[in-house]
Amino acid sequence: MRFRDGMWLVAEGVRAEYAEEVYSFTKNEDGKGLSLLCPTRQIRSRGDVLNLSTLSVDIEAVFDGVLSVETTHWQGARRLGPNFELFPGGKPETSNASITSNEKATTISSGSISASISSKAHSFDIRFHATDGSKELTSLLSRSVGLAYTPGPSNPLQTGDMRNMQHYIFTQTTLSVGESVHGLGERFGAFNKVGQTVTLWNADGGTSSDQAYKNIPFWISSRGYGVFIDTPERVELEIGSERSCRVQTSIEGQRLKWYIIYGPSPKEILNKYTILTGKPGKVPSWSYGLWLSTSFTTNYDEATVNSFLEGMQARDIPVEVFHYDCFWMKAFHWCDFVFDAEKFPDPKAQIARLKSAGLVKKVCVWINPYLGQASSVFKYAAEQGYLVKRKNGDIFQWDLWQTGMGLVDFTNPDAVKWYVSCLEGLFDTGVDAIKTDFGERIPTLDVEWFDKSVDPKRMHNYYAFIYNKVVYEALQARYGKDEAVLFARAATAGTQRFPLQWGGDCESTPEAMAESVRGGLSLGLGGFSFWSVDIGGFEGSPPPWIYKRWVAFGLLCSHSRLHGSNSFRVPWTVDNDDKTDQGCSAVLAKWTTLKARLMPYIYAQAQESIKLGIPLSLRAMCLEFPEDPTSWFLDRQFMFGDSLLVAPIFEESGTVEFYLPKGKWTNFFTKEVKAGPGWFTEEHKFDTLPLYVRENTVLVLGKQGETRTVYDYTEDVEVCTYQVGELATTTLVDSTGKEVAKLEVGSKADKKSLDALKGKWNVVQVS
């Protein structure tokens, strides 16, 4: 939201007041915080303290490398929930906090980061910097902290009635020359957000607009710091767009709190951010295999499902997970958790037959948190008080999506227990994973929740967290802590704890594939390790060339699912069963097999990604190469783990342009070595793309012809070395993710480390 009209004028209908000086400050009793009293005009006489507003700016040392900054106008405003669950893994000790003063400034330090408040009279000047003085990060300067009214009152008496007046708090942190900003959730526009206006408000808007399903109030700067905005409500950001040299953050309310996190590397920033909001959950090795969906509005039954899986098996394309989308239930009955008896007369037996026949290992079904009134489940939930209500006591209903649908009220503990019991019925049927769709269009007006302490506006984004948490923990309770898998669409800060997420409704176009890449890159910078996409695009029917290009991209995401809207995504329906080596079936089989061979590398990298709170794939190039300025602008390629570079192809011709950072890179397919930094252009058929291995890499592969996702990652493997120097290492894990050994290769390697390998393994020097 913009409060000014250019640099000199206030926006029409707005009254804005700014912290003009730090009049005084007090130290917290524990010595880890400062409270600054900041009047909205300079105090030069005793009369100046009357008839004006003040802002409190509280700065606190949180833990090493992290400071919190909270700005408040009226302290008496209620603190309504919900709030983000911070430090779910425990809060680190704040052992290196200190407050020091000299004639120039008062400085509060939290380990490696400090904030210095200028001692100059009648000034407002707060500088955030590395404690050792090596780097200045950002600042709060003149007209950078304030409050605003709209419509703007002409005198203070009018603020006695705030019912028809909005009140905002805002801060503006400085942007340095050349600084770029990244993250803020799954955003589909330009990767660098400078110049953009961003609203953090979950919406079902597809992948081709400024709306997003996953709005994460956290961003990373190329200068080595990140900012986490600690509120689930609507946040408006002007990122170099109101003032080109500042990032403005504003909320409607009386308080705005954010944390500034010093890395200095982006990996360290994400590690600290995910200490705050939670580390990603672990997902089982079977989930990395190919998922096949029925698609959305297609007509399917038990025979259709069988034909899909038998067809995939006949074409040597292993399916790890089969997904039943919406119409496993009757029309108008979503979501009543009951298989359509006409289409699936005995779902439990059918699922058991699919698994026993080896056609699929696991089964997933689609759900959402809405109840259409045509189902008896709606009546029951309404009678029990399990649905969100209007303020007059009616059930909140509308006809958007499902006729007369109600919304499950997850603030009601009894509603949660009931919802979990419905899920347990699915687990009894043989369902292993859940696609938690929707959860974005959560009403905020004329709404009353069971928990009266929550603010409906704060519940809008937060609903995604509580909805996914309920389902994820139900899966954990049934199958084990590390065996739970979601396929979730909506998210907010902390939802990375409940993997995995997918990119939502994209079109079947190359432009939409590029949008999806940008969305996955941005979400990964919010602590999400695992991400997927609708291979082939969701909307429309992809022509064969787009389907095959998307298959190559999709099988190099952490998770891979074939899914569409009104057309099937089994390969033979896309190209009339082209049986050549460049046909859809052959291409899908090749990429599925490649991912299976890569599993020793993928699963080891996954464990490290969870530990650090970084993406497995898509991993933005700047996470691995932060010192390379180009890496902060690359949004058509990514890293898969720390050693594989992937450049999807968006042209039917197979022409692709990509960038290699400094070092030697080996083409995985041709073994050709190229030296970076530099841009390169290649042409590819459908069974290859630019897949480059970083120098000094030890890449452990499954045996030739391996098609399974779950196998012994230490047996019959191929240990490939790429431009290895005196010593290169890699971690070997088993199929549960447990570390087995650290393999060493090179002239200074401990050869005994290879003793962890079993069977007919070999070491191959590739380049």
Report whether the peptide linkage leading into residue 422 is cis, meaning its omega lies within 30 degrees of zero: no
Residue holding tokens 């896309």? Answer: 574
Is residue 527 within 8 Å of residue 274, measured between CB atoms?
yes
**Residue in 205, 221, 223 with CA at minimum distance from that of residue 213:** 205
Strand extents, DSSP E, 207-316: 215-221, 225-229, 235-239, 246-252, 255-262, 290-293
DSSP code for 326: G
**Residue in 560, 664, 644 with CA at minimum distance from that of residue 602:** 644
**Residue in 336, 469, 465 with CA at minimum distance from that of residue 406:** 336
Is residue 689 within 8 Å of residue 656, measured between CB atoms?
yes
Instruction: Write out the H or E segment, with its range, that includes residue 157.
Output: none
DSSP code for 507: B
756 burial via Cβ count (<10 Å: 0-12, 13-18, 19+): middle
**Residue in 736, 743, 745 with CA at minimum distance from that of residue 758:** 743
Instruction: Write out the H or E segment, with its range, that includes residue 36.
Output: strand 33-39
Is 440 a residue of the active site? yes
Q: How many CB atoms lie within 10 A of CB 58?
A: 18
Report whether the peptide linkage leading into residue 510 is cis, meaning its omega lies within 30 degrees of zero: no
**Residue in 335, 337, 423 with CA at minimum distance from that of residue 372:** 335
Q: Considering the candidates 179, 230, 325, 440, report the single residue annotated as catalytic.
A: 440
Beta pairing, strands 181-185 & 215-221? antiparallel
Alpha carbons within 13 A on the beta-carbon side of 703:
13
How far, in whole angstroms, is CA 511 from its chain's centroid?
21
Is residue 521 within 8 Å of residue 659, measured between CB atoms?
no
CA distance 749 to 731: 14
Is residue 319 within 8 Å of residue 312, measured between CB atoms?
yes
Is 409 a residue of the active site? no
Is residue 599 within 8 Å of residue 589, measured between CB atoms?
no
207 burial via Cβ count (<10 Å: 0-12, 13-18, 19+): buried
Q: Considering the candidates 505, 515, 687, 718, report the single residue annotated as catalytic.
A: 505
| Helices and strands (H, E) in the chain, number of each type | 11, 41
Q: How many CB atoms lie within 10 A of CB 567?
A: 17
Q: How many CB atoms lie within 10 A of CB 361?
A: 19
Q: Considering the candidates 20, 325, 336, 437, report the single residue annotated as catalytic.
A: 437
Q: What are phi and psi of 744, to 5 degrees?
A: -125, 140
What length is written for the chain?
767
As a three-state string, the secondary structure of 424-484 is HHHHHHCCCEEEECCCCCCCCCCCECCCCCECHHHHHHHHHHHHHHHHHHHHHHHHCCCCC
Is 428 a residue of the active site? no
**Residue 358: both structure tokens together:** 């080896």
Instruction: Write out the H or E segment, with its range, that includes residue 577.
Output: none
Is residue 571 within 8 Å of residue 589, measured between CB atoms?
no
Catalytic residues: 437, 440, 505
